[in-house]
């Protein structure tokens, strides 16, 4: 757990002095006047703080504003307890980094940590002391808009993402002036909402929970995450906000989480709508009993817990326990020692703006995935005329993505701006042609004229930022509006076309990838989006991004992910009665891990030892990689494992490691994957961990595509 000084004497003293209302105030967080999701009254908030009815605020930032609120709490409330000030710093505070799904595509834990560190520095400088991030929902359904906020489909990746983000936000000392409390959310299995519809119910087996949805949260807890937020969803009929088995038994008891559990926005009151509580008193007692310490925005604790107490639904000891945890977090954050330390305009942070922009550019270009390329990229140096077409070519606000924090559109570099900067000699013929999501085709004719005239067409298509994120599920996650018509018309001209796809999810792109000469997935890349995209287009940066999610051909393949169990009738068995579709391939359009480079890498050889291993051994796997291409570049290789025969059927591929190597043209190098043999344990039929002797296959390759995996077999011996 990140360090932090907890003065238990002060906590006990405060608890002894507090009225019930003041205790419930510590358990309540309200949106300040600058609410994102709806207006609240500034006057009302000030009164609540004075009366000790608000222990925390959310959706407020800025040195002056946060200091004013802290001053009210310290100087005008009876007990002078400082406030938690929470904000969603999902992918940057003022300097906006790529959306989490895009950042995951870098497969670079050190970068994940650095962006969180920088975001924490900026947010802390703005008076924020807690963030509702990282979002750790494993997501396998591109219809679900919140896939944009997630690290993708794989639990191993999500667990590494969790550790890196917690370290980045909290640093090694939570009381540090530039550290903020991290909140692992949304606990858990929110990514499995029915049919990809946000807030919908979730039905998952306990195996799936333990193998897929819980490991990222276990990793966050082990990394010392200060807070956890249950999701809006239910799991197998029990709303997460009231889920005793998961919140209390798994999170607190099994995982040893000692921090604060904070509800999602209004989620405690929604227990009534979800059909498990008749009134606020019941809702509040269910949440408190499950271990939810802070009520975000529903007022259920303030209004419902007094009645719940008098009805005997909860005891004062439960309330005291929750208040104690909240005060302990305030202690660990150093708020009692100096509540104003965050929020002082820190000249150092201001002076590092250039470094933060450099980091934003680097992570953004590393997040770009070159999906397909027939050689048109990198762009030739002697291009005279470039047609820059499409609604995302010059759309600063969209580059921010769906959770832009305190980021400003005016600070974002668009593709058009960056292209003009990078290629001053070229003539850029710019025409958006169509809106992102409307049916006005009046610009199409001009766009086609430009395309006919150009040496290359850059076709910038995709979603608007708010078509992904919360409450942005799409039953048809393709190009919105009439962008497909525009694409068809442009592609019919027979000019070289580079499709640049901005989105918060894998989009269904019928024909486009096949017909365009190159396609880039550029997600929402943040403040430096334009520079990053142009760096890749021109070859100033050789692409390294890899898909953290499987990219389907069509909606009918969803949910889709690489790590699935073998069926008795595999699709490739050739048998007529096989596990396949009769109207489309079972394979995705692009597998997990896919992403091209301007270089050409091969795995020349693969070695693993020892040939026979026991549970306490360390397995060592080494792949020799060569760069056969004309450019220096970086290769990413994935290590997958298959346990072909076990007492419980295991997935065909399970991710166990990722490694990278930078190689000059013609150069070779070795990538090593150290693997404790114990990590090959799996949950038996009784869900207890087991290590079973027998053959294990280790696969190394550039993606989860079986056609490109090198394999070596080792044997496990019993203990
Ligand atoms: C979202 C959370 C977020 C909270 C506060 C909710 O609607 O589900 O992810 O942290 O709002 O903004």
Q: Where are the chain's structural domains?
A: 8-89+128-346, 367-557, 601-716
Expressed in angstroms and rounded, the spacing between residue 265 Cα and the centre of ligand 1 is 6
Ligand 1 centroid vs 510 CA: distance in angstroms?
33
| pLDDT at residue number 162 | 99
Domain 8-89+128-346 - what CATH class?
alpha beta
Q: Which of 230, 470, 471, 473 is the best mutation target for the ligand 1 pocket, counting ligand atoms within 8 Å of the beta carbon and taking the most?
A: 470
Mean pLDDT over residues 330-358, rounded?
87
Q: Which atom of ligand 1 is nearest to the CA of 186?
A: 9
* Range 367-557 classified under CATH 3.40.50.1700: yes
How far, in Å, from the CA of 186 to the mean position of ligand 1? Answer: 9
365 vs 274: CA distance, rounded Å: 43
Residue 259 — very low, low, confident or very high, per pLDDT cuts 50/70/90? Answer: very high
The predicted pLDDT at position 68 comes to: 94
Look at residue 40 in the predicted model and tell me its pLDDT: 52
Q: Where residue 38 falls among pLDDT bands split at 50, 70, 90?
A: very low
**CATH architecture of the domain formed by 601-716:** Sandwich (2.60)
- In sequence order, what DSSP letters do the residues of 176-190 get, joined into one string? STT--B-EEEEETTG
Residue nearest to atom 10 of ligand 1 (CA): 132
What's the whole-number mean pLDDT along residues 102-119?
A: 98
The atom of ligand 1 lying closest to the CA of 59 is: 12
Band of residue 33 on the pLDDT scale cut at 50, 70, 90: low
Closest approach atom of ligand 1 to CA 133 = 10
Percent of the chain with pLDDT over 70: 97
Point out the catalytic residue in the list 137, 264, 394, 643. Answer: 264
Express each pLDDT in 531-550 by its tens digit. 999 999 999 999 999 999 99
SS3 content of the chain, % helix, strand, coil (to 5): 35, 20, 45
CB 23 within 8 A of CB 79: no
DSSP state at residue 681: -
Per-residue model confidence (pLDDT) at position 163: 98
Alpha carbon distance 112, 353 (integer Å): 18
pTM of the complete model: 0.97
Query: How far is residue 507 from each of residues 271, 365, 510, 520, 592, measured CA to CA in Å?
Result: 34, 20, 9, 12, 14
- pLDDT given for residue 505 in this prediction: 98
Residue 3, pLDDT above cutoff 60: no
pLDDT value of residue 1: 43
Q: Which of 145, 264, 402, 403 to mutate to test the pocket of ligand 1 (most atoms within 8 A of CB)?
A: 264
Q: Find the range with the poorest average confidence among 249-258, 540-549, 573-582, 657-666.
A: 573-582
Position 496 pLDDT exceeds 70: yes
List pLDDT tens digits, range 425-457. Answer: 999 999 999 999 999 999 999 999 999 999 999
Distance CA 373, CA 712 (A): 31
d(CA 218, CA 162): 9
CA distance to 25, 217, 522, 677, per residue, from 652 (Å): 51, 24, 30, 18
Give the pLDDT band of residue 223 (cuts 50, 70, 90). very high
Distance 103 CA to ligand 1 centre (A): 20
Instruction: Examine the pLDDT at 344 and tell me if it is beyond 90.
Output: no
Q: Is 264 one of the annotated active-site residues of the chain?
A: yes
pLDDT digits (tens, 9 = 90+) for 591-616: 999 999 999 999 999 999 999 999 99
619-656 confidence digits (pLDDT tens) = 999 999 999 999 999 999 999 999 999 999 999 999 99
E strand or H helix that includes residue 676: strand 668-676
């Amino acid at each position: 757990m990140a360090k932090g000084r907890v003065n238990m004497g002060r906590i006990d003293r405060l608890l002894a002095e507090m009225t019930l209302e003041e205790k419930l105030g510590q358990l309540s967080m309200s949106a300040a006047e600058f609410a994102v999701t709806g207006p609240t009254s500034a006057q009302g908030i000030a009164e609540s703080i004075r009366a000790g009815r608000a222990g925390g605020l959310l959706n407020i930032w800025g040195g002056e504003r946060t200091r004013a609120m802290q001053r009210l709490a310290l100087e005008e409330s009876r007990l002078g307890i400082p406030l938690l000030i929470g904000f969603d710093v999902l992918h940057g505070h003022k300097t906006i980094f790529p959306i989490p799904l895009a950042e995951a595509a870098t497969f670079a834990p050190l970068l994940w940590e650095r962006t969180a560190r920088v975001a924490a520095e900026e947010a802390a400088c703005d008076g924020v002391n807690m963030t509702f991030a990282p979002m750790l929902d494993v997501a396998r359904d591109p219809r679900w808009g919140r896939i944009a906020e997630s690290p993708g489909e794989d639990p191993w990746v999500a667990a590494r993402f969790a550790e890196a983000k917690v370290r980045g936000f909290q640093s090694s000392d939570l009381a540090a002036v530039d550290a903020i409390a991290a909140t692992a959310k949304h606990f858990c299995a929110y990514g499995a909402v029915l049919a990809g519809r946000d807030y919908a119910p979730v039905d998952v087996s306990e195996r799936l929970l333990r193998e897929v949805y819980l490991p990222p949260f276990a990793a966050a807890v082990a990394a010392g995450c200060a807070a956890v937020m249950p999701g809006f969803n239910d799991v197998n009929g029990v709303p997460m906000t009231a889920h005793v088995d998961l919140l209390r038994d798994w999170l607190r008891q099994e995982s040893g989480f000692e921090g604060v559990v904070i509800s999602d926005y209004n989620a405690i009151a929604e227990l009534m709508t979800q059909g498990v509580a008749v009134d606020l008193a019941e809702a509040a007692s269910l949440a408190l009993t499950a271990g939810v310490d802070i009520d975000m925005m529903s007022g259920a604790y303030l209004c419902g817990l007094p009645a719940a107490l008098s009805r005997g639904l909860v005891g004062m000891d439960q309330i005291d326990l929750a208040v104690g945890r909240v005060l302990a977090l305030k202690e660990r954050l150093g708020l009692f020692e100096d509540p104003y330390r965050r929020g002082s305009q820190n000249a150092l942070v201001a002076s590092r703006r250039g470094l933060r922009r450099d980091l934003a550019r680097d992570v953004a270009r590393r997040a770009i995935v070159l999906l397909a390329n027939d050689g048109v990229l990198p762009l030739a140096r002697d291009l005279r005329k470039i047609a820059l077409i499409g609604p995302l070519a010059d759309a600063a606000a969209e580059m921010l993505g769906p959770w832009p924090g305190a980021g400003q559109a005016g600070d974002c570099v668009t593709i058009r701006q960056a292209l003009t900067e990078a290629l001053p000699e070229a003539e850029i013929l710019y025409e958006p042609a169509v809106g992102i999501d409307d049916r006005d085709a009046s610009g199409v004719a001009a766009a086609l004229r430009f395309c006919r005239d150009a040496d290359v067409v850059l076709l910038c298509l995709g979603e608007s930022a708010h078509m992904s994120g919360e409450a942005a599920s799409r039953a048809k996650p393709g190009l919105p509006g009439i962008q497909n018509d525009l694409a068809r018309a442009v592609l019919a001209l027979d000019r070289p076309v580079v499709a640049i796809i901005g989105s918060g999810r894998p989009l269904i792109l019928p024909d486009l990838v096949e017909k365009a000469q190159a396609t880039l997935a550029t997600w929402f890349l943040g403040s430096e989006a334009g520079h990053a995209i142009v760096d890749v287009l021109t070859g100033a940066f050789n692409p390294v991004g890899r898909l953290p999610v499987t990219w389907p051909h069509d909606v009918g393949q969803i949910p889709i992910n690489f790590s699935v169990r073998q069926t008795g009738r595999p699709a490739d068995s050739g048998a007529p009665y096989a596990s396949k579709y009769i109207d489309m391939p079972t394979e995705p359009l692009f597998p997990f891990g896919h992403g091209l480079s301007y270089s050409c890498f091969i795995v020349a050889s693969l070695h693993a030892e020892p040939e026979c291993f026991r549970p306490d051994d360390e397995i060592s796997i080494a792949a020799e990689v060569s760069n056969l291409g004309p450019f220096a570049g970086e290769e990413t290789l994935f290590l997958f494992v298959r346990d072909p025969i076990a007492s419980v059927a295991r997935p065909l591929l399970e991710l166990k490691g990722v490694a990278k190597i930078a190689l000059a043209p013609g150069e070779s190098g070795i990538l090593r994957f150290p693997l404790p043999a114990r990590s090959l344990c799996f949950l038996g039929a009784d869900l207890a961990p087991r290590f079973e002797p027998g053959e294990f296959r280790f696969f190394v390759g550039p993606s989860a595509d079986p056609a490109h995996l090198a394999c070596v077999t080792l044997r496990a011996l019993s203990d």
